[in-house]
Amino acid sequence: MSKTLEAIHLLQDKLESLFSNYEFLKNENEILLQNNTQLQHQLLENKQLIESQKKEYDLLKIAKTIDGSSTDTKLKINALIREIDKCIIQLQE
């Protein structure tokens, strides 16, 4: 009878230990899920910020090109003007 009681107490101790570990892991899992959700939200915000800054950068590049401050742009515009002049001359003939 004594061995049976010892086995029952041992089983009860193991069950309590398992239940305690289960509760701890359950709480830790909830915390990790919350952190994961928060990090995914931050990642989405960062992606949107990068996309926004990329669009702004592209607009600045276009504005800089239109500004005509670079020699390449001026040369391209002059070449286009010459082609337009040639077209006008051909149309007049």
The DSSP output letter for 76 is H
Residue 76 CB neighbour total at 10 angstroms: 13
Rounded mean pLDDT, 39-44: 97
Amino acid identity of residue 23, one-letter, is E
Position 69 pLDDT exceeds 70? no
The answer to whether 47 and 53 have CB atoms below 8 angstroms apart is no
Query: Percent of the chain at pLDDT above 90?
Result: 57
Question: Given this model, what pLDDT does residue 33 score?
Answer: 97
Predicted structure pTM score: 0.55
- Which single residue is written with the structure tokens 């089983």? 11
What is the spatial distance between Cα 49 and Cα 41, in angstroms, rounded to a whole number?
12
Secondary structure (DSSP) of 16-50: HHHHHHHHHHHHHHHHHHHHHHHHHHHHHHHHHHH
What is the spatial distance between Cα 3 and Cα 77, in angstroms, rounded to a whole number?
100
